[in-house]
Structure 1
Amino acid sequence: MNKTLKTVIDGAIRNEFNYTQEGNLEGMKDINKYDQLSERCNEIQHILNEHLSKEFKGLLEEFDCKSTDLLCLEIRYYFRKGVIAGLTNLNFLKEVKDIYYIDGIGECEYEK
């Protein structure tokens, strides 16, 4: 693949990821589960912060930041792989007249 085209495609994927990431979670299929997990994580963090020494609070904060960084790298990787799969492995779907597809947030829609 030509280097300029690769740069343009990489930039488009990166921009789409950033645009999607900035959106809110409205329409997320599992929003209740997400809210429960988020609330529990906040509770655990609050409890740990109350009982840890200053040194361990710093380690906990660093752990949280590093875990988030790892997760972001994984999410970007899987997003990119999903785009590639959608454009290559699934390109035969354009031949199907009636198609069910996943709208990106876990809901199945019918398109004719």
Structure 2
Amino acid sequence: EGVDPRIAYFIVTAWILSATFCFIITGFFLFHLWLLSKQYTTIEFCEKRSKQDSPFRSKSPYDRGCCSNFQSVLGRNCLFWCFPCNRNLKGDGFVFEIREDLKEQYAKEQEDIMA
């Protein structure tokens, strides 16, 4: 005695659908982990690809290293990264530190704007 063919069909179909969604969601998750490690938003990533003169073309001005990037978004204590209640963040969520090699250039541009 075997499994009813209709039930087997539904089981196989459900397995194929869940495997497909799992594959897609895993790719989406890994892509966003990569974006976070490089300190890009999705919009900045798309602009980087579409515009030749984009300031994000080579490297994000906010990229301060993988560990520091994760800490600036998820908090200093990695034990709380999976929980949405962590308030021990490096910044305020509106202003982010830029790379050390760009601070001088940014300060000069700000002076030029103010002058």
Superposed pair shares fold, TM > 0.5? no
Question: Which of the pair has the greater relative contact order for Cα pairs under 8 Å at 6+ separation?
Answer: 1
Which of 1 and 2 has greater Rg?
Answer: 2
| TM-score where L is the length of structure 1 | 0.36
| TM-score where L is the length of structure 2 | 0.35
- The structure carrying a bigger helix percent of its residues is 1
